[in-house]
Structure 1
Amino acid sequence: MIRVEDDGGVRVVTLDRPGRRNALTPDGLEALSEAVTGADAPVVYLHGAGEAFCAGADRSVVADVAADVADGDEGAVEPFVRLGQATADAIESAQAVVVAGIDGPARGGGVELALACDLRVATPAATFAEPGATFGLFGAWGGTVRLPEVVGLGDALDLSLSGRVVDAKAALRMGLVSRVVEDPRAVAEELADNDALAMTHLKRRLRDRGSKAAREDAEVAAFQELVSAHAAELREFDG
């Protein structure tokens, strides 16, 4: 379900269930978290096999949870949701920079996992939707938190309440993706040429949701660490 290949400075993580549009089961979520957080490479490239990025949660798993609830076990819902949230959190907080390469459909939980990545790079064939409201649910793997942070409240409400499908051009306009290119993996490979420690500090500082004062203190500490790490080279720096 999750295939991992280490290729130089990039760990390639493939969601590998093309017959199910790379939909994820609990085992798949756990394996995805381990694949991303266990990377020694400075960059992780996350993509889907076949013609889709990710359809989100496997509907058979959702059906099983619903069946448990119908039988009186309302506690069956929280572990399922929490696991998806934990996986998205693991992607977001990973030491490596995580690049989502989105080619084809990203739906529901697939969009939520992409939102947790540091960069979302689409091909012209990519499409996106949060269709939960059309069948009585919504994206609960951190989607209601990250989507408005990434695209703004207006577009987040539009996407979530309508369930409509948007193409790569529209996703770029609203900031859901940062680039539309023919080969998203090439972006990950370009990033791998940069300093790994600097990128780790950058993603943590830019993602920090603390107070302004705390973020500025953390910025100073991170910059000091980088200067110390590269003091010898910086002595020769002439701008």
Structure 2
Amino acid sequence: MIEIADEAGVRVVTLARPERRNALTPDGLDALEWAVTDADQPVVYLRGDGPAFCAGADLDVVADLDQHEAESFAEHGQRVANAVEATDSVVVAGIDGAARGGGVELALACDLRIATAGATFAEPGVSLGLFGAWGGTVRLPRIVGEGEALDLALSGRTIGADEALRMGLVSRVVDEPRLVADEIAGNDAETLRALKTRMRDDAASGEQETAEATTFGRLVERHADAIAEQRGKGE
């Protein structure tokens, strides 16, 4: 269900269940969490096999759950999304084809969402009397704003890559999202981790600024030779 390929600077994690549009079961969630959080590479590139990125939770699983089990499944998905968000590596979602429900929520937990022109997005749970419960009601309004989030969730409508770009759901629309992962991996690994940590910090602004200055000082000391060389070039 989850395939891993370790390459220079990038771990490629593939949701490999195309016959089910890469829908996730509990075992799939566990495998995904391990694949992302175990990476030594500075960048993890998450993609889907076949014509979909991820259809979200496998409805064959959901249909057999009682109330308590459904709550546990939601919490399971939340833990995995939180782990993806918190991991040291920069996680880039390369979205080609359909992202639905939990697939959107998984992408929201990534640091960057890069789409192709053929990518589409929807939170269709409302049509079943449900909603996205893998952190979707938290991350979606935070990323696209409350109005856009409510429009997507309440209507269940499908949007294309251009509209997703306009509302900030994705960062870029490109022909080959993997190239963005490679571009990021070409930078210093410690600096990438520091940037992610600082931008994810939810402490009070004064504490964030102190930590920002401390981290900047450490990086300047570490890269003193490279900075001096660049200064010598007059840039």
Unmatched tracts of structure 1, length 5 or more = none
Could you tell me which residue of structure 2 aligns to residue 19 of structure 1?
19
Q: Distance in 1 between matches of 2:74 and 2:207?
A: 31
Q: Distance in 2 between matches of 1:195 and 1:215?
A: 22
* Alignment partner of 2:166 out of 173, 176, 179: 173
1:100 aligns with 2:93: yes
Task: Give structure 1 regions of 4+ aligned residues with deviation exceeding 4 angstroms.
Answer: none
Post-superposition offset of 1:76: 1.5
* Alignment partner of 1:209 out of 199, 202, 205: 202
Post-superposition offset of 1:210: 1.7
1:75 aligns with 2:68: yes
**CA-atom RMSD in angstroms:** 1.1
Q: Distance in 2 between matches of 1:78 and 1:221?
A: 41
The residue type paired with residue 151 of structure 2 is: D
Provide the identity percentage. Answer: 62
Unmatched tracts of structure 2, length 5 or more = none
Post-superposition offset of 1:159: 0.3
Matched residue pairs, number?
A: 232
Post-superposition offset of 1:231: 2.8
Post-superposition offset of 1:228: 2.8
Structure 2 SS opposite 1:191: helix
The residue type paired with residue 45 of structure 1 is: Y
Q: Distance in 1 between matches of 2:228 and 2:96?
A: 44
Structure 2 SS opposite 1:14: strand
Check conservation: 2:144, 2:167, Cα contact below 8 A: yes
The residue type paired with residue 154 of structure 1 is: G
The residue type paired with residue 55 of structure 2 is: A
Post-superposition offset of 1:75: 2.4
Structure 1 SS opposite 2:52: coil
With normalisation by structure 2, the TM-score equals 0.96
Check conservation: 2:90, 2:111, Cα contact below 8 A: yes
Could you tell me which residue of structure 2 aligns to residue 88 of structure 1?
81
1:28 aligns with 2:28: yes
Post-superposition offset of 1:209: 1.7
Post-superposition offset of 1:201: 1.0
Could you tell me which residue of structure 2 aligns to residue 228 of structure 1?
221
The residue type paired with residue 30 of structure 2 is: E
1:59 aligns with 2:52: no
Could you tell me which residue of structure 2 aligns to residue 183 of structure 1?
176
Structure 2 SS opposite 1:64: coil
Post-superposition offset of 1:225: 2.3
* Alignment partner of 1:160 out of 153, 160, 168: 153
After superposition, the C-alpha distances for 1:175-233 in whole angstroms (9 at most, x for unaligned) are 10010011000110111101111111111111222211111122122212212322333
Q: Distance in 2 between matches of 1:43 and 1:177?
A: 18
The residue type paired with residue 11 of structure 1 is: R
Check conservation: 2:62, 2:70, Cα contact below 8 A: no
